[in-house]
Amino acid sequence: MNIAILCSGNGTNLQAIIDSVNKGYIPAKIALVLSDEKKAFALERANKAGIETITLDKKDYKEREDFDREIVKRLKKRNVELVVLAGFMRLLSPYFVKEYRDRIINIHPALLPSFKGPHGIKDALERGVKVTGVTVHFVDENLDNGPIILQKTVEIKEGDTEETLLERVHEEEHRIYPEAIKLFVEGKIRIDGRKVSIKS
């Protein structure tokens, strides 16, 4: 199966996925890494791994949907069957979601449906919860809203800062994102409304 990974930043999740593919843990090919930021370190990681990269600049597109149409065109050209968002800081248009319905996944640094949005770690810390975590979910038309595939908890410790918590959240992300992708690629995930069941 061909997969594509969309990133905007550092790409530590991308790296974990690349490593998992290279080890044979995920039986798929990363056909493309696409970024909306030409300076994203994720692009360097992909280049180093010999993966094709594309950068698209939103300034070149009038509407969000035009941008997404361009992405979808590139994905289809490469027969991409699974779209993995890994720190991609753009909301997908309904057009994109429709074209890849139930085949787009995202990772969020909190236990959804708590702390949606771009500051999941900061928001959990500020709210004073004792346990937060990581969620892998399908992407639908609404932000951080689609059916949940996997979740893992991360304890918030006395004296945690955004940096120390981020580090432990990332450790968990780098474990469960490859796991979720593997399950998808092996056809073990079934969606029934908002519920996801996993075949053993």
Residue 40: which H helix or E strand, with range?
none
Considering the complex, state which of residue 68 and residue 173 has its C-beta at the smaller distance from ligand GRF. Answer: 173
> Which positions from 158 through 187 interact with ligand GRF, judged by CB under 6 A?
173
Phi, psi for residue 169 in degrees, rounded to 5: -65, -45
Choices 54-62, 69-77, 106-114, 180-188; region in contact with ligand GRF by CB under 6 A: 106-114
108 near ligand GRF, judged by CB under 6 A:
yes
* Residues 14-43: x where in contact with ligand GRF by CB under 6 A, - otherwise, as a string: x-----------------------------
Choosing from 46, 86, 181, 189, the residue that interacts with ligand GRF (CB under 6 A) is 86
Interface residue with ligand GRF among 21, 26, 84, 87 (CB under 6 A) is: 87
> Nearest residue to ligand GRF, using CB?
87
In the chain, where do the E strands start and end?
2-7, 29-35, 53-55, 80-85, 104-108, 131-138, 148-155, 189-192, 195-198
Residue 114 binds ligand GRF, judged by CB under 6 A: no
Minimum distance, C-beta of residue 116 to ligand GRF, in the bound complex (Å): 11
Burial class of residue 161 (count of CB atoms within 10 Å of its CB; 0-12, 13-18, 19+):
exposed
Listed in order, strand segments (DSSP E) in 36-185 are 53-55, 80-85, 104-108, 131-138, 148-155
* Residue numbers at the binding site for ligand GRF (CB under 6 A): 7, 9-14, 86-87, 107-109, 173
